[in-house]
Amino acid sequence: MTPSTAPDVFTAVADPTRRVLLERLRKDGPQSVSDLAESLPISRQAVTKHLDTLTDCGLIRQRWQGRRRLHDLNPRPLREIDDWLRPYAELWDQALSRLQQHLEDNP
């Protein structure tokens, strides 16, 4: 896939199943498709398609270990989301600070 046709990180993490896969890789480290599919209510083929999407946008790296292909989390592309969300988080922080000040001023 070319950069213009590859799914972006936002699209990839919009899907709940892909978020579950990312969380499993974050918590448990590199895993095969079979390992990941065991605990999900979808087929191994569906898990493979989700992993392909995550790989295409750079969130997952693949490597071979013997005859098993392992998938590993690459968190770097998540920085794009963090950078985009940061100004909104600052807005929430400001709003919560104003609320706290209001509550302290009006007991």
Residue whose entry in the numeric block shows the structure tokens 């990839």: 12
| Total domains, the chain | 2
Together in a domain, 44 and 95:
no
> Which of 5 and 61 is assigned the larger pLDDT?
61
Rounded to an integer, the average pLDDT of 11-24 is 96
pTM (2 d.p.): 0.78
pLDDT digits (tens, 9 = 90+) for 39-73: 899 999 999 999 999 999 999 999 999 999 999 99
The CA–CA distances, whole Å, from 88 to 50, 81, 82, 83, 95 equal: 28, 11, 10, 10, 11
Together in a domain, 65 and 30:
yes
pLDDT mean across residues, the chain: 91
Together in a domain, 34 and 61:
yes
